[in-house]
Amino acid sequence: MTVKNHVLKNMYRDSVALMRLSREMEGLENVAQATAIMGTDNNKELLAQAGLLADSGKSATPNDLIVAFDLTPPGREEAVMTSVQHRLMSGRQGTSGGTSYRPRSMEGALQTLPQANLAMISVPGEHAAREARKALDLGLNVLLFSDNVPLEDEVDLKQQAISRGLLMMGPDCGTAIINGVPLGFANAVPSGRVGLVSASGSGLQQVICLLAESGEGISHALGVGGRDLSDEVNGAMMLEGLRALREDSATEIIVLISKPPAQSARDRVLEAASRCGKPCVISFLGEQEERASRGNIHMEDNLESTALRILKLLGKEPPGWAFLDDKSRKQIESIIASTDPGHRSIRGLYSGGTLCYESLFILRNLGHQAGSGLEREQVGGDLLIDMGDDRYTVGRPHPMIDFRSRCDALVQAAADPEVGVVLLDVILGYGAHPDPAAELAPAILEAQKIARNGGRRLACVVALCGSPDDPQDMDQQQKTLTHAGALVVHSNALAARIASAISRGAAGPLPGGDTRG
Amino acid sequence: MTSRTIYPITSIGAPIAKQLAPYGRWGTVFAVFRWSCYLETGGGQVFCLADQGLGEGPLTLGVNFPSETTFRSLGVNEGCHLDTDGVDLVVGHELVLTTAETVIWEPDPVVSTAPPDETLRRLDVLINLVNPLIPSDGLAEIIPHTVGIANAGSSGIVNMNAVAELAMPRLFRLSGGLTRSAQGVIDEAVADLVGLGPGLTPSGDDLLGGMLVALRAMQNTASLFSVDALAGCVTKHAAAETTRISAAMLEQSARGYGSAAQHRLLGCLLGVDTRPDTVNAALDLIRTGHTSGWDALAGILLGIYCGLRIGRSQASPDSAAQSSIAFSRGMAGTPA
């Protein structure tokens, strides 16, 4: 081992340049180990610990660069230093003095990345329309994450986009996957044959996750914002999305998702879908209309039945997530047997607004007089709360990221002697909390303890919305939640039905998902 | 005759603005990078000319360059002078900088409105958010352990990089010294951290800078004596034991001036907290440099935890025990 140090006086290079130099030196002949570091006393100590400090390096001052390397076998020192000098000089236009370049304007960003064709905008609502107009003027498709954008601006922006042949996703669009690129809150799902346009973020995530678990992927998933099918916007972007998917050769089945639309928007969407030439599964959540198939149109009223319909059209058998296994069924029966009928109200604590809405609709269809936190301040009875709603997120992160408000509400629910079932959703994927189960499990345990201390039993039913490839490790999430005593299923609709069964004290009608029609 | 290129200076940090003369020579370039260069005044004050996209700072003159324009391409090299005629600035032979649109940048003061428990929750959320992204270089690996360091708990930490392993016991000492207002301990720990690590601004410096800016922002919580002691030690050791660029930045940090990204994040953590602001502010900060932003984030987190612990220690005679309990709760949500 022959350690050599060269001290380059008053030599300043940024970290990236020095790391690159170290790596390149270690690739040179005879160089076993190398580094380039500023000559501070503490760095000399680091070099000494690594066995790379020679006598010549000890004289370096903090403003000098020490180039240190170990030659094994000895020799070629001059060649190494010639190479170092060459690299340092050629790297004079390296990076930026400790900071990477980040454009501050859309024009600047486009100059840096001229091939970009989409702008993702997340600024306060009052500035969002202006930024979106700028992006459209620059020929960019737009995903507008911001909410609180005036409705008239949304109408205008979407008309502008249509006239330019561009997509205007949002405002208040939190989820999209385009050509496999996830934008916002999105899941790691495989590529496939199903294209989706959705006015609901969590609704979109639920459907693509159920498909992914069944081995089916998507071509594109486009979000359009929750107001797209209002009277004013009249389905403008859902129609554009439908047109785009109709022309997309990778898309074999088109899926449209929304809460109940305005009549005129509904008519326009159905008319366009019926002429698109591809099978269309349309889920207008909670519409009090029979599920039906007419021609290429397949109407569904919840997310689970939508996923099942898609799988059926693709020739797939009903998947495992649609059914309860024996263990879960026994667990439900045990809960029912040990729960006093007087203590069986349902409390839903949701992070996904559409998942909350779907559960509300299902429970009401099952005869529950369920209320939502948005409709009234309810005391007693079944109550489902969308904790991602603005009224619960003032000054706080969204509950998909920060679980404290839901954990607090869960503990509060446990203290309510009427509550026998708590319904929760856990949404995985990019942008969501990195380990939701670690946050929620302690609160579930505490809630159950509180109920036990009150002589009751509290059932926690979790709808785990995620893809097997999501970064949070879905299996581990499920294990943690199950270990805490939660009953975990992947279909939100099934979770709602389980809650209903426990609440009513009858597990009988619980086969899992149904595929009528 | 040489052609000249004219660009506007958009912002200038208040501390450096106060030091520059209205006429004559402002400084001489001693280090040039792609989108920034560093200069030194005749009096030895270091400051920076940088593309405005790199963000504001106390010693920065932000220039509105077109994309991909580099300082070298404008003829800026080591030894070039920056002179002013009272209206415009000239760097070398080619570059003219106008000041008609220049604004003086000064960070908004952080109003520490959040109660300590709320701040602790915010730190938990932030650490959870950034945890999957933590790089293995510099001092970012200490981020999940900052609460433990501030709480003087057992380190129990293995498999860190060499810089972080060397820094850990020193950070424990520093934290303990701050809590006890033990100037000797603080001084010794600072001496062992200044100039530690790779880069133009060594990781130890970036961390100490973040700590100082955070503690200065917590005037109502942290002990002024401890913070002043830390600031004095950092300034003293930086003057001799780190690069002059880093020493200049640390001098500003000691006064409570950090980068715009640091102040924005502190505003989110200590004051108003909304998810987009906190997330974007944290992302803005960690994008700075290779590890500088991460190191500064580690310093900010450690600074806040230490500031809260100092505050609790002062508030109660049973300080140590109480603060340990509170922090243990905070640790429940902190990844190991």
Q: Which amino acid is at A163?
A: S
In this prediction the ipTM stands at 0.77
Query: What CATH class does A323-504 carry?
Result: alpha beta
Confirm or reject contact between A163 and chain B (CB < 8 A): no
**Model pLDDT, residue A89:** 73
| End-to-end C-alpha distance for chain A, whole angstroms | 78
Fold match flag (A173-318 vs A323-504): yes
CA distance B144 to chain A (A): 14
Question: For A334-381, how does the pLDDT look when each residue is reduced to its tens digit (9 = 90+)?
Answer: 888 887 776 789 999 999 999 999 999 999 988 888 888 655 454 558
DSSP state of A256: E
Return the pLDDT at B194.
Answer: 95
A45 in contact with chain B, both atoms CB, cutoff 8 A: yes
Three-state secondary-structure class, residue B303: helix
Q: Which of B72, B204, B241 faces A93 most closely, judged by CB atoms? A: B72
First to last CA, chain B: 64
CATH value of A173-318 in 3.30.450.20, 3.90.1150.10, 3.40.50.261, 2.60.120.260: 3.40.50.261
How many Cβ atoms from other residues are within 10 Å of residue A317's Cβ? 8
All structural domains of chain B with their residue ranges? 5-105, 116-331
Q: Minimal CA–CA distance to B254: which of B307, B290, B210?
A: B210
Taking the C-alpha atoms of residue B278 and residue B280, their distance in angstroms, rounded to an integer, is 6
Domain ranges, ordered by start, for chain A = 2-93, 173-318, 323-504
- Rounded to a whole number, what is the distance in Å from the CA of A426 to chain B's nearest CA? 16
User: A77-81, A389-393, B153-157, B178-182: which range is least confident on average?
Assistant: B153-157
Spatial distance between the Cα atoms of A421 and A89, rounded to a whole number of angstroms: 69
Is pLDDT above 70 for A394?
no
Cβ proximity of A311 and A253 under 8 Å = no
* A179 conformational bin, left if phi > 0, alpha if psi -120 to 50, beta if neither: left
User: Would you say residue A459 has pLDDT above 90?
Assistant: yes
> Is the pLDDT score of A225 beyond 70?
yes
Distance CA A417, CA A324 (A): 28
* CATH T-level assignment (fold) for domain A2-93: Alpha-Beta Plaits (3.30.70)
How close is the nearest chain A Cα to the Cα of B317, in Å? 31
Q: What is the mean pLDDT of residues A130-137?
A: 92
What is the per-residue pLDDT across A242-294, written as a single tens digit (0 to 9) for each?
Answer: 999 999 999 999 999 999 899 999 999 999 999 999 999 999 998 766 678 88
CB within 8 Å of chain B, chain A residues 94-113: 94-104, 108, 111-112
What local confidence, expressed as pLDDT, does residue B290 receive?
Answer: 77
Strand pairing category for A280-284 and A292-294 = unpaired
Compute the distance between CA of residue A54 and CA of residue A247 in angstroms, rounded to an integer: 68
Whether pLDDT at A57 is above 80: yes
Residue B156, pLDDT > 60, answer no
- Cβ separation of B194 and A42 shorter than 8 Å? yes
Per-residue tokens: A510: 């619980």
pLDDT at residue B335, as a whole number: 25
What's the pTM value of the predicted model, to 2 decimals?
A: 0.56
Comparison of pLDDT for B88 and A217, the residue scoring more:
A217
Helix, strand and coil percent figures for chain B, each rounded to 5: 50, 15, 35
Tell me, what's the pLDDT at A327? 83
pLDDT digits (tens, 9 = 90+) for A414-443: 998 889 999 999 999 998 888 999 999 999
Of A12, A101, A112, the CB nearest to B200: A12
pLDDT, average across residues A137-143: 94
- pLDDT tens digit string along B165-184? 889 999 999 999 999 999 99
Looking at beta carbons, which residues of chain A come within 8 Å of B30?
10, 12
Give the H/E segment covering residue A198.
Answer: strand A191-198
Q: Quote the mean pLDDT of chain A.
A: 87
Tell me the residues of chain A between 244 and 263 that have a Cβ less than 8 Å away from chain B.
none
